[in-house]
Amino acid sequence: MTEPLSFTGERFLPEREGEIWYEHWHRYALARQLSRHRTVLDVACGEGYGAAMLAENALRVTGVDISVDAIRHASNRYGHQANLEFIAASCDSLPFQDASFDLAISFETIEHIETQPAFIAELARVLRPDGVLLLSSPNKRLYSDAHDYHNEFHVRELYRDELEELLRAAFPHRSWLGQKLLFHSAIWPENGDVAATEYLVGDGGQVAVGHCPAVEPMYYIVACSRNPSMLSAALGRLSLFSDAAETVYRDYVRQTRRVLELDRLLIDRERLVAERDDLLVLRTGQMEKLDALLIARTEQIAERDALLALRTGQMEERERMIAERDALLVLRTGQMEERDEQLAQRAEQIAGLNHELDYRASLAWWIKSPWRIVKRIIKENP
């Protein structure tokens, strides 16, 4: 088995499910009815599933895509069909001779390119004079404008009149079809033989009878030719498409259940939000009380800091006074040491005087007194 291509978000792959599956397969199922016994060109064939479907009826089918990887994948996956080939080429420069094909298919291509006139001219060139072009394009008014949607892969989307103007020059005869996924209730004969088709539309309790949908199409499909007789009568019928597995309905049921589940989760969420709000109110009250306590505590701290500052000033004053006292004590100590020294000297003097007085009061001093007088006289009268 060939590995599927990676889904880019734009190129359709047959493994995808949902609305996009119905849209793409229905177009090719319609083209398959027109391809019987014809040489067919599928431009922008992508993964190759549509070209392979056309090859079941066609004489020969050539799939063209600008992506080399897509062409390699298509060749590996579908190339075993003898009447099917895949070629890498640009849609505005097709590598084929003039008048090479009976039917050209190009679904959801034109909005991806800037060179739209050259693209249409190339399709007209490679088709035979009575050849048919089957082309689809999103309706810009509904696809983008109505939903304020921008597809990043689209280069230039077209309104109906713009697409009409683009096709008119190369293909004077055009048959317009509309495509859109619609939700219907189907009632049919059990034996499978449908004699006629009626289209009933309910609107505000009233039922209108018609023969086709009256809604604006999401996509335009245009069959173009230079020969009006080549536009098949099959294009005038209402075409319905479904799959045996009813995948889109399964998807709808799955999404409905998912919505119900989301509704339940939303209710639970709203309950949790209400509980959270109650807790927040409680928490806010607690925070307000805490803030009041913090304010009181802050005021107490400010008062303490003021007392500490006063106490610090007092301590600094005390330390200054102590320092002054210590300086005075040092000075006083010096003075006292100096006084003690003076007192000691005075004591020595007094002791000397006392000694001298004691000596003079003694007999020895008086005995020696005449001799001292003689020595003085001799000293004074040498």
pLDDT tens figures, 226-242: 999 888 766 778 888 78
pLDDT tens figures, 35-68: 999 999 999 998 898 999 999 999 999 999 999 9
CA 350 – CA 11 distance, rounded (Å): 133
**How confident is residue 138, by pLDDT bands cut at 50, 70 and 90?**
very high
Q: Return the pLDDT at 86.
A: 97
pLDDT tens figures, 273-326: 999 999 999 999 999 999 999 999 999 999 999 999 999 889 999 888 998 898
This prediction's pTM: 0.66
pLDDT exceeds 90 at position 208: no
CA distances from 361 to 135, 349, 356, 357, 369 (A): 162, 18, 8, 6, 12
Compute how many other C-beta atoms are within 10 angstroms of the C-beta atom of residue 46: 25
Burial (CB < 10 A; 0-12, 13-18, 19+), residue 134, is: buried
